[in-house]
Amino acid sequence: MTAIAESAGGDRRAQRSRISMVIPPIMAMLYPLPLIGFHAVVTAANANPSTNWTATSLIAVVLLIVAFAVPVIAWRSAIQLSMIATPSVAEVRARRIAFLAVAAPAFFSFIGSTVFMLGAPGADVWVLGAFWAAMAVFVTTGGSVPYVVPTDSASPASIRVIHGLLALAVLLVFLGLHLANHLTGLIGPDTHKMIMKMLRHLYRAPVVEPLLIAAFAALIATGGYMAWKFTRSTGDGFRAFQIATGVYLIFFIISHTSAVLVLARSYLGTDTDWGFATGAPTGLIRDAWNIRLVPLYALGVFCAVAHPFAGARVVLLSHGVRREVADAVVVWGAAGAGLLSTVIMLGMCGLRVHFA
């Protein structure tokens, strides 16, 4: 009887484990729903003169928080799965899909613009639903046999160096200036446009722009390669944070580059200025399409700033810096990234700073 009870208990634990492993893809599958609900609430409130804006705003904020919670929950799941010392094949699959689910906002934007250009607007929810459902099935069919870590699980040092140097170059030549330009949106669109025109002489120069695109492609390739390697082995929360922010950036870059180069420049023939970024004239908040850009941009800025700090931690540890100091670099870097992301998004959503 004891053996039977233990067997039944083990089966229940295995069942709970399987259920927890499919939570990230299921959450990613449902990710569009709170954003759709947000737009429905805002639209209904604007159409009703007697709207209770306090209650409406509270509901809208909760729905937006739910949308942001999806990648956070996926990241937390990835941390737990990354700490399993001897994972099964299913658990390694679940670990990788959890990291992939962190990029749910980027998937939603990329698929949305793609089906729009293919003449099937609105099909993005169904396409994503099918994709994430397939990922959930992929996890559950992984098997409970132990995963055998290949002997070449560590990424070559040369790949890490190339990735780091490319990231530093992009940060200095483009990203730092680009984010600083977005901060000027707090002053107003005209200020942003004026500075953007000056900066474009640098990063849209005939020689520089192709090199930037090539650098982004190389960052995606080397980052994806390292993420695949790292997810084979056990890691701590800091490693999981580094992988999660990196995976998000891979799909954010793909989505954002597609939107700028393909959707805007080629398909729509429009300038990718402040109006394009903020969904003018409707704005980011009141448009059914544009609301998806709020979590997309906010997490994009956060990951773009926080990810280099996670990489710096690895470099610091390899040079003998105390773990407490290296960990603090990531924590404070992430805090700064969150603050910067919040300020930029407030400006993109309409907040203005006026000087006397």
pLDDT at 12: 44
Average pLDDT, stretch 346-352? 92
Q: Mean pLDDT over residues 192-209, rounded? A: 91
Cis peptide before 121 (omega within 30 of 0): no
| pLDDT above 50 (res 8) | no
| pTM of the complete model | 0.93
pLDDT of residue 152: 63
pLDDT at 13 over 70: no
Query: What is the pLDDT at residue 115?
Result: 96
Percent pLDDT > 90 in the chain is 75
Placement of tokens 């099937």 in the chain: 120
pLDDT at position 151:
67
Average the pLDDT over each of 49-53, 86-90, 151-155, 236-240 and give the range with the smallest value.
151-155
Which 3-state string (H, E, C) describes the chain?
A: CHHHHHHHHHHHHHHHHHHHHCHHHHHHHHCHHHHHHHHHHHHHHHHCCCCCHHHHHHHHHHHHHHHHHHHHHHHHHHHHHHCCCCCEHHHHHHHHHHHHHCCHHHHHHHHHHHHHHCCCCCCHHHHHHHHHHHHHHHHHCCCCCECCCCCCCCCCHHHHHHHHHHHHHHHHHHHHHHHHHHHHHHCCHHHHHHHHHHHHHHHCCCCHHHHHHHHHHHHHHHHHHHHHHHCCCCCCHHHHHHHHHHHHHHHHHHHHHHHHHHHHHHHHCCCCCHHHHCCCCCCCCCCCCHHHHHHHHHHHHHHHHHHHHHHHHHHHHHCCCCHHHHHHHHHHHHHHHHHHHHHHHHHHCCCCCCCC
- Listed by start position, the domains of the chain span 2-348
Identify the band that residue 1 occupies on the pLDDT scale cut at 50, 70 and 90: very low
The C-alpha torsion from 135 through 140 and 75 to 92, rounded to 10°, is -100
- CA gap 265, 354 in Å, rounded: 33
User: How crowded is residue 236: how many other Cβ atoms within 10 Å of its Cβ?
Assistant: 11
Q: pLDDT digits over 108-122, tens only? A: 999 999 999 999 988
Q: 267-280: per-residue pLDDT in tens?
A: 999 999 999 999 98
Mean pLDDT score, 289-308 = 96
Pair of tokens at residue 223: 């980052």
The pLDDT of residue 289: 92
Which pLDDT belongs to residue 155? 67
| 316's tokens | 């610091």
Q: Is the pLDDT of residue 5 over 80?
A: no
Q: Would you say 349 and 283 are in contact if contact means Cβ atoms under 8 Å apart? A: yes
Q: Is the pLDDT of residue 246 over 60?
A: yes
The model's confidence at residue 153, banded by pLDDT at 50, 70 and 90, is: low
Mean pLDDT of the chain: 90
